Chain A
């Protein structure tokens, strides 16, 4: 048996869907296609997979996609400052707690 999930491509990024798919890759593979307004994810369960309730799985998966969106947003907002901090870390200011 297989089933599919749709995501509005206006408000969901493909990246988030892919990352979520990766998280669930122990249980299933996703076949992602696209039409003019949405991403269509076909769920292909793995052999001896533990997906027994597709509704629960859908909720879990959608939540994971949302979390991944949030992660992407955090990463976008903090990439610049992260580089700044790493620059501090590798600069020769000489201060470290283990010195």
Chain B
């Protein structure tokens, strides 16, 4: 039929194109390009050069893909700019749900004496280290007065179960006050499970309270990390996990590991322990700087290099597990992949810019002090009150969120304008961690070339993208993790 035009009739004869904002990095001999909203493309050095020169042929696959992914636009695709605008807006709107995680430190007392813990006290002095009803009630008012439609109250310590009366008080108080407000309210207790009882579990069942516990690995490692009288932290934790599952349901308990330098020896034994306990995944958590770097105020790349090796070995091992047909996630990777592959923000506090402090979660200390993050509270225990952003006795939600004590670190740590970050191909996935940088370098922004945080993130992003993009099987495993 002659009425139809051939394909080449529709080929664009105008060969000029316009570059859209993008950044690049080199990974394993390939060049990674990321655009304004974090969409990415792997290519070769020559393509990057001709792309920037304006000489990329408009019928090449690279051209078609780069145009579809909004690295360039031409007179066929003027809509690209508007679409990028919409995507930018979508990403920004992730920040509109201000503060849904509220951490209530209801007791500093603990029967464990973990060496890396800066906050707990071995004491029976309830008056000195427990949250009072009066403070608790103010904290509930404060939490419910924020704009977020979802409120998660997390009980923290020390060991929060040592102050179970206040815990019950808060649950009742929050539920009662919320009746008129109608937010989606949920509760979780962060406990080592050593002192859990049937009575407590019955209560949790009644009020649909979830349990988050600690499991650092097999008995030898866990008990080494977590000394307590009897040296049986592991036994109590695993029995506790069983009990919670029987009473509350299998998925009502999750576990977090604290990564210490002893953990770094072999991630596999830790992963095996999580598998054995029936968990559907593990969070290979970054090394907490608070036992190491903060005390010495000295940058120590050793820690994060070793962690990165630990993480890579662990991830590799977990991928093998998945390939054998067992669905098991690594939550840190899953969080980052979600940021890379979608416009949604998984809300991981350390990977947000503006930073997640205050906005991502807020801490009410037993004595009524308000902290911008859990790490900020730990810093205060070590004598530095920089991240104490208010006090329940005197401040309301608005006071705290508009205070310079919160806004200064947020503003000063923004990655979009920071040296290095502003040119970094991973900036869209990364975040600002003003508490970490303040603790290690004394300023909120930190020097990224020397930053442990940057080292860890830069390498993790590179590694994940490279792995995701090189192997179809791995790709589909990763994709199953982010759903």
Contact = CB atoms under 8 A, between A and B. Distances in A.
Q: Dominant SS at the A interface? A: helix
Contacts of A73: 52
Contacts of B86: 88-89, 93, 95-97
A77 B21 CA distance: 8
B90 to A, nearest CB: 4
Nearest to B48: A70
B84 interface: yes
A89 B89 CA distance: 5
A19 interface: yes
Contacts of B419: 22
B52 A96 contact: no
Given A23-B449, A24-B449, A89-B88, A98 B93 contact: yes
A85 interface: yes
Interface residues of B, number: 33
Contact of A88 (B49, B82, B449): B82
B417 to A, nearest CB: 13
Contacts of A68: 423
A48 to B, nearest CB: 11
Nearest to B455: A26
Contacts of B93: 96, 98-99
B293 to A, nearest CB: 15
A26 B423 contact: no
Given A86-B88, A87-B85, A88-B81, A98 B20 contact: no
B447 interface: yes
A33 to B, nearest CB: 22
B92 interface: yes
A95 B423 CA distance: 28
B420 interface: yes
B23 A84 contact: no
B449 A74 contact: no
Interface in B14-29: 18-24, 26
Interface string A58-99: 000000000110110111011101101111111101011111
Contacts of A88: 81-82, 84-86, 88-89
Interface of B: 18-24, 26, 36, 48-49, 52, 81-82, 84-90, 92-94, 301, 343-344, 419-420, 423, 447, 449-450
Given A82-B21, A82-B36, A90-B89, 16 more contacts: A19-B423, A26-B301, A26-B449, A67-B24, A74-B19, A74-B52, A78-B20, A81-B81, A85-B36, A85-B81, A88-B81, A89-B84, A89-B86, A97-B86, A98-B344, A99-B93
14 contacts: A22-B420, A25-B447, A67-B24, A71-B23, A78-B22, A81-B21, A81-B81, A86-B88, A88-B82, A89-B85, A89-B89, A93-B85, A97-B86, A98-B93
